[in-house]
Amino acid sequence: MGVIWEIDFYSRPLVDERQKKVWELLVCESPSSTAQSSSDLFRYAQYCPSDKVNSVWLGEALQAAMLEAKQSPQRIRFFRRQMNNMITKACKDIGIPSAASRRSISLRQWLDERMEQFYPSQPNYQAVNSASVQMFSDPPQPLPEALIGEKWAFVNLAASQFAEMSDWQIGFGESFPLEMFGITPEIEIPGLILYSQRSVPMAAWMSGLEIVAVEYQPAPKSTLLLETGASESWILARLDGTTQSEAARFEASKEQSKGVHFIAIQSNPESEEFAGFWLLYDS
């Protein structure tokens, strides 16, 4: 997999000499299993005057970031739906595919850090009541037939086992270093495994979904959800009494693992290969 960038282009809690909001482009490389910490990832920041906020400026700034990185990303992710048209056009103009996605793990960490530490230290800081990062989910939709497995199971893996992840046989997927979240080896990482005789095409189809998280929704109907893309939500399963208890334990385990969890696809429970494996983060 080539390098993926996560970007945010939005106003910050800063004002210029005319008391106009200062805009800023943030670029952060998506983490991979080879990165040891956020400091290993490429980062780029550039302020934008409020009267220059357009796709042309953004495209030129992204090209400047590529020059600094000495490489072009395979694709670009962004999480703000309200910026969809401008970001999509800028990326198209410079020939880089883009996708609206809440899977912006390293960017959101960096943005939270800047909101808490960097911006308040600036002389032109203008206090805001809350951070501007907000994520939304659309009403859950029935799962596409391509993603329906024969059965599924909740499992837990010790964080220490992920040290050997590079040796696992995985067809499709994406991961990040657990060190990014301060996960120690003894912590249990909860996950969901889907089993299907069509595991490979199922994993291939899922690889285009921008998978964000697996969540248990106890009300109004007890359901297991798959969160994807900018706001999409899919019903993985309707739960009964026994599976409700399992799902509740799954959510409790996610709290212990700081939101880190996974979803995997295998042909059957005896298989030692993963057709798909995605490490996820639920903030």
CB atoms within 10 A of CB 22: 18
CB 211, CB 262: distance < 8 Å = no
134 burial class (0-12, 13-18, 19+ CB within 10 angstroms)? exposed
Q: Is 136 inside a domain boundary?
A: no
Q: What is the DSSP letter of 232?
A: E
Inter-residue contact 77 to 105 (CB < 8 Å): no
The pLDDT confidence band at residue 7, using thresholds 50, 70 and 90, is: very high
Q: What is the pTM of this model?
A: 0.88
Q: How far apart are CA 1 and CA 85, in angstroms?
A: 26
b/e per residue, 37-67, with b = 16+ CB within 10 A? ebeebbbbebebeeeebebebbbebbeebbe
Q: What is the pLDDT of residues 80-124, one digit of tens each?
A: 989 999 999 999 999 999 999 999 989 998 999 999 999 999 999
Q: Which two tokens stand for residue 210?
A: 């921008």
Specify whether 116 is located in the same domain as 193.
Answer: no
DSSP 70: T
Number of domains the chain is built from: 2
Q: List, for residues 25-71, the tens digit of each pLDDT value.
A: 999 999 875 444 556 789 999 999 999 999 999 999 999 999 999 99
Within a domain: 172: yes
Looking at the fold, whether 54 and 162 belong to one and the same domain comes out as no
Instruction: Please check whether residues 72 and 171 belong to one and the same domain.
Output: no
- The reply to whether 238 and 274 lie within a common domain is yes
In a domain, 127, yes or no: no
**Which CATH number do you get for residue 34?**
3.30.420.10
Domain encompassing residue 97: 4-121
**131 is a domain residue:** no
